[in-house]
Amino acid sequence: MAIRQFTTVLLLAVVTLLTGCTLDVEITTPESITQHEPFGYSAEVTRGDTDGLTYSWSLNGVVISNLAESQALVSTPGVHTLSVTVINEKDQEGEATVELNVLPAEVLNSEFDFTIRTADLTGLAIADVAITVNGTETQTDATGTALLEDIPLNAVMVVTAAKDGYLDQSYRYEFSGSPESAAVVLTMTEQAAAVTFNNEAPATVNTEELSTSVSLPAGAFVDADGNPVTGDIDLAMTPIDIRQIGAAFPGGGQALTENGEVVALVTTGMIDFEFTQNGEPLQLAQGATATIQMDLVSNIGADGRILTEGDTIEMWWFDPATGLWVEEGEGSVIASASSMTGLALQAEVTHFTTWNWDYYKEEDRASFVLNCTREGQLLAVDESCFVRVVGGTLNRSFTVDNGGVTAINLPPGVTFDVYADLIHTGSQIFRGTTSFTTVPGSVSVTVDLLPYPTDTGSVSCFITDGASTAQVTCTGTATGDTGTYEVFSTDPGTLIGQFEYVSGELVTVAANIQGFGATQTVDTSLLAGPLNIQLTASVGLGSISCSATLDGADLEYFPCAGRITDDLAGEYVFTESDFSGTPLSGIFAYNDMASVLTVQVVNALNGSSIDIYDYDGNQYVYVNGTPDEVILDLNVDTADIDMVYDISSSDIYSISCVDTLGQPVDNCYVSIYGQFENRIFDGVLGEDQPLAPSWFADSLMFADDTEAQNSFGWASSFDENDPQGGRYYSIDYQVDVISKTVVFVMEGENLNCPPNDDGIVLCICPPGEECDIPVVN
């Protein structure tokens, strides 16, 4: 017998279904629910034992929660079925069901044209993708394009893309005003191949990628009708590397919290699970739990949060029907010997989907309002721009119409680079870039799109040993079959490089990744989204840390650099850009067939340096000075190096530049060499040394007093705006082994340069002079 109760004061509709089971259950939902708007729901046991209750909620037959109360939203209007099953610790059961009458959202334009393009991570078009837009269905053609004409436009349009072999993708696009049309690009990720296991006994399924695993109890699964499943089960378990996901991040990282707030997430790791038997989907039985785990690839969040063992992180599962991640439970950070960071992510889950260890800023939030213009003018109503925003580990994509878009719940103090392309019906390329830094509160950002003769591709480089993967710097070339030739180098901060190409040509991208080569060729006529090349070198992976203590104080970790040679005549390098994490450590690649590695470690403490040149696709490496050398026998040793320097302040020489009157000379560039012409110091005083602890600025160490007394060097300073001529050079080099000082005495040269029209003296090397700087001893 069904009983419907109404609580008019609270505007709640309560439905109870007495099923004849031991427990009586009531569902509580709002009286009115509108399409795309979050609503709360809850269940209460009104009769029966309430100890040890477990819940299993489903919406239209799809599991959505295992909590007593939660939040949801529905992307299509009409009647929807919400059900719950409740079981107590005595296995006594109760069920309840309610029909939700979801009201349609306001229609902004009843004759809206929507173009949807689907692409893989490279940007290549994906054909035959099933597309759903607010309940309207279609499919992409051979170019990865689907067009829906004359459909109703709501303020929120949820676009879902699904195809066998790919993870489901869904985005929640927000519109303002009443545009006539829009075009968006959905980027999809390939699904991992399925493996088979038997569920009649407890099982743990592993994959090498990111050391991902799931541990399952025996007899844990049921089919769509709730019947127990026995025998073999197929599992497609896809770990998602947050460093590589880019625009394929499901839903763009938008999420629905337990409080019903839509926020943006800071991700730390995610895994997609699909369990099937004979092609039919399976789910965990109610009351069963599974443990999932994967490597933590970065222990520093985009907001600067440092993750350590024992930390808890909110868990979220992806709902393709709404394009949102839904908060449910917590995971934790644990120690892991296999992880490059020494840490892994772990959680217990009660149902399977794509799970995500994420968090969001509850306080001190930042946001930005993003707009695109074309040649300084607002976009037309039938135009939009596809924007990628990259900052730290945050990588988000937006489709922006002439009303702009607002991104909320971001960490303050993060600098973002913005890359935007115009989406329109013409053939002319319009592109723009800008950058901004988030602050507490909101910041407005406008990127202006200008005509571009060529298109722009991006490249990221990785090294992997099959179990662990690291993103690293690289250099290389992009060559088109129409004659274009570009040289690129990845940015040391974002680890992304860019190159130009002509749309429609065949582009070959070749990179040098720490001494290893990788190449990919792309037919750009097949692109449906931005060209994004990801090159990976399969290698052996080693780790290195450099740290120092001053007079016995606490260790300080700092980046170093080096060259690796092996017994197979291979040569590889690592630089300061390959260091990350807390404590700071670096990753280096080597030939996994090698038996012996010789590693030369370069840093300011040993007075050595490294120069790396790329010419015509070849890499040339020069090590200056006397680096520390470590020999690893890989038959015995692991490829892990821990360089610790115990430094006494009495061994450190300070460096300074003064004029003939003893006054400091600013902007002084100094080079100092040992008695065997080995370079010990090279740089501008006052600037941080990149390969040294913070307390080693403007300092050096000699091997002994003899080397100090036999050293030599030169220094120069030049300020073209100095009315006195601005050029100084060293005339004396003084080393005091008692006070541990190196002093360059500088002489200024008044070149009698005439002032310009503004009265500013701009001095350059006079005609006929070479302006050589003397070397002094």
Please tell me the distance from the alpha carbon of residue 692 to that of residue 492, in angstroms, as a whole number.
18
Place of tokens 């493996």: 195
Q: Which residues contact 509 (CB under 8 A, 6 or more apart)?
A: 457, 459, 476, 477, 478, 479, 499, 519, 520, 521, 522, 533, 535
**pLDDT at site 305:** 80
Q: What is the mean pLDDT of residues 130-152?
A: 92
pLDDT at 677 over 70: yes
Question: In degrees, to the nearest 5, what angle opens at C-alpha 705 toward C-alphas 703 and 710?
Answer: 90
CA diameter of the chain: 105
Euclidean distance between CA atoms 720 and 717, whole angstroms: 10
- Record the pTM: 0.72
Across residues 591-599, what is the average pLDDT?
95
Per-residue confidence (pLDDT) for residue 9, from 0 to 100: 28
Bigger pLDDT: 558 vs 300: 558
Tens of pLDDT, residues 232-255? 999 999 999 888 887 788 888 888
Indicate whether 751 pLDDT > 60.
no
- pLDDT tens-place string over residues 252-283: 888 888 888 777 788 899 999 999 999 999 99
pLDDT bin (cut points 50, 70, 90) of residue 98 is: very high
From the list 628, 590, 583, 565, the residue with the least C-alpha distance to 340 is: 583
Distance CA(130)–CA(147), nearest Å, equals 12
Residue 472: partners with Cβ closer than 8 Å, 6 or more residues away = 461, 462, 463, 495, 513, 514, 577, 578, 587, 589
Whether 658 and 615 have beta carbons less than 8 Å apart is answered as: no
Give the pLDDT band (50/70/90) at residue 394.
low
Q: Residue 2 pLDDT more than 50? A: no
Is pLDDT at 624 greater than 70 in this prediction? yes
Sign of the alpha-carbon dihedral angle for 491, 493, 495, 498:
negative
The pLDDT mean for the chain works out to 85
Instruction: Please give the Cα distance from 500 to 194 (Å, whole number).
Output: 38
Enclosing H/E stretch for 708: helix 705-709
pLDDT at 84 over 80: yes
**What average pLDDT does the segment 372-392 reach?**
82
What was the pLDDT predicted at 397?
Answer: 65
Whether 169 shows a pLDDT value over 70: the answer reads yes
Strand partners, 308: none
Indicate if the pLDDT at residue 597 is higher than 90: yes
Percent of the chain with pLDDT strictly greater than 70: 89
In tens, the pLDDT along 397-453 reads: 677 877 787 776 677 778 888 888 887 666 677 888 899 988 888 899 999 999 877
- List the one residue out of 239, 313, 320, 319 whose CA is nearest residue 272: 239
Min mean pLDDT across 426-430, 501-505, 680-684 is at: 426-430
Residue 769 has pLDDT above 90, yes or no: no
